[in-house]
Amino acid sequence: MLLEIDDIHVHYGKIAALKGISVSVDQGEIVTLIGANGAGKTTTLKTISGLRNLSSGAVRFDGKDISRMPGHKRVLAGIGQAPEGRGIFPGMTVEENLLMGAYARKDSAAKELAEAYELFPRLAERRSQAGGTMSGGEQQMLAIGRALMAKPKVLLLDEPSMGLAPMLVQQIFSIIVEINRRGTTVLLVEQNAQQALQIAHRAYVLETGRVVKAAPAGELLDDPQVRAAYLGGASGDDLTGASDVQSVDAAGTSGTAEAADDSEEGTSR
């Protein structure tokens, strides 16, 4: 396993946010955590990236126990995060924001910058524009691009589709598939469960600080309880517009950057 969290308990003061969560992510996978507001998804990602402390349990990465490793060292070890709410630097240009993602590296970031611009042509067009003046979707792309600049082995994404128009949501999901196809393991937190389950290999359902289900993502798409609670209760066919992202087989063959670029042509400018 590339990443393993083992029975972690995390508190905010006296309040237990995570009550024994275990999740594992294998090299090359897209794993998604779904669940309602307050279930503990963000806290789980923050604990992996070192922004929250464990009360008990362990986080293991690449075979090492990193439970006590400071966050900046986890970035160097290969854990990249695009945080909830994006967290870009509004007064810095797009390019400066991207370069911030590589600040801890000693070698040149030119190759990663070129790759980020290839993955997100919109960012290349706007490289000199202030981050804070970008649209919501563009800021999300910037946050993901910045996280990729550190060449992470695993990319943690916290609700990347939040607040985006449907076409942009689809584009972000296509880009996640492409990032994975290029070799980055992804742990994806989403409230948009339908689309998350369509691109993920495996999924965990969180409820009030616990894992209540873990299964291949395709199985959860067909699970009546999951459908009722997280997918609007509808059966596959009548989900209007929500299922534009094609499902991806284990080799991750669909959802290319080209497809993402094409769909971008249709967005408002």
Binding site for ligand ADP (CB under 6 A): 12, 15, 17, 35, 37-43
Beta-carbon count within 10 A of 212 CB: 14
CB of 171 to ligand ADP, least distance (A): 23
Rounded to an integer, what distance in angstroms lies between the CA atom of residue 191 and that of residue 259?
24
Q: Nearer to ligand ADP by C-beta: 5 or 98?
A: 5
Q: Nearer to ligand ADP by C-beta: 52 or 126?
A: 52
Rounded to an integer, what distance in angstroms lies between the CA atom of residue 210 and that of residue 54?
15
Q: Which does 170 bind (CB under 5 to 8 A by kind): Mg ion, ligand ADP, none?
A: none
Q: Where are the beta strands (DSSP E) in 26-137?
A: 30-34, 56-61, 64-65, 79-82
Q: Which of 32, 42, 140, 174 binds Mg ion (CB under 5 A)?
A: 42
Task: Name residue 23's amino acid.
Answer: V
CB of 41 to Mg ion, least distance (A): 5
Q: Nearer to ligand ADP by C-beta: 127 or 213?
A: 213
Backbone angles phi, psi at 151, to 5 degrees: 50, 55
Nearest Cα to 204, choosing from 222, 192, 220?
220
Q: Which does 128 bind (CB under 5 to 8 A by kind): Mg ion, ligand ADP, none?
A: none
Burial 98-123 (b: 16+ CB within 10 A, else e): bbbbbeeeeeebeebbebbbebbebb
Q: Nearer to Mg ion by C-beta: 85 or 218?
A: 85
Taking CB under 5 A as the binding criterion, the range among 28-36, 39-47, 86-94, 124-132 that sits at the site for Mg ion is 39-47
Nearest Cα to 33, choosing from 169, 188, 155, 147?
188
Rounded to an integer, what distance in angstroms lies between the CA atom of residue 21 and that of residue 42?
13
Q: Which does 37 bind (CB under 5 to 8 A by kind): ligand ADP, Mg ion, none?
A: ligand ADP
Q: Which does 101 bind (CB under 5 to 8 A by kind): ligand ADP, Mg ion, none?
A: none
CB of 247 to Mg ion, least distance (A): 25
Q: Which does 171 bind (CB under 5 to 8 A by kind): Mg ion, ligand ADP, none?
A: none
Q: Which residues bind Mg ion (CB under 5 A)?
A: 41-42
